Amino acid sequence: MKLIEVANIEKLKTLRNNPYFDELPDDVLKDITAHTQMREYERGDVLFWEGDPCAGLHIIESGSIKLYRVSPQGRQYIIAVMTAGATCNEVPAFDGGANPVNVEALETSHVWVIEPRVLRALVLSNPEFALKILSKFGKNLRNLIGKVSEMAFYQVTHRLARLITEMPVEELHPHLP
């Protein structure tokens, strides 16, 4: 991992374009930038390990990462692959707990990290922000329940067929204009 020096204007731009922070006033965003850093990870670098203390909310600027867990038998289960614009590690960033998964860079990736203590202080001082966080957590929970239900109730062939039908045409046929 390498720290990248970034101007505050770039940090502000990122925060303004992120759904967690897009409605906050500039003075609050400027305070957050003081606790935000850009990190560069090479392919195979681990951003963080499951069970370790949380370094903060991660916002992917470029590249891609995978979130995964390892079974007691050593099998890796990929929970998600995330690309530019996605965020991860929200829950421990806001609740103060440990990282729930392992995260690894799939390619050279630039990732913003916002310190968790700043986020928790913002929740305490800004009720609108706190409600936004609750709403996003609710959407994430509903999505997770849907995934668990699908895994429990449908066979692999049905889940694969459903995944294919939901994919954008550009991903299914990248050679089409």
- The predicted structure's pLDDT at residue 155: 76
CA–CA–CA angle 92, 96, 100 (5° rounding): 30
Domain map (residue ranges) of the chain? 2-125, 127-177
> DSSP code of 109?
E
Q: How far apart are the first and last CA of the chain?
A: 38
Using DSSP's 3-state secondary structure scheme, residue 1 falls into coil
pLDDT recorded at residue 122: 96
Helix (H, G, I), strand (E, B) or coil at 62: strand
The phi, psi pair for 172, rounded to 5°, reads: -75, -35
Do residues 59 and 33 lie in contact, with contact meaning Cβ atoms separated by under 8 Å? Answer: no
The CATH code that applies to domain 2-125 is 2.60.120.10
For the chain of 177 residues, list the mean pLDDT of each consecutive stretch of 10.
Answer: 95 95 94 97 97 97 96 90 95 95 97 97 95 91 80 72 72 63
Q: How many CB atoms lie within 10 A of CB 58?
A: 24
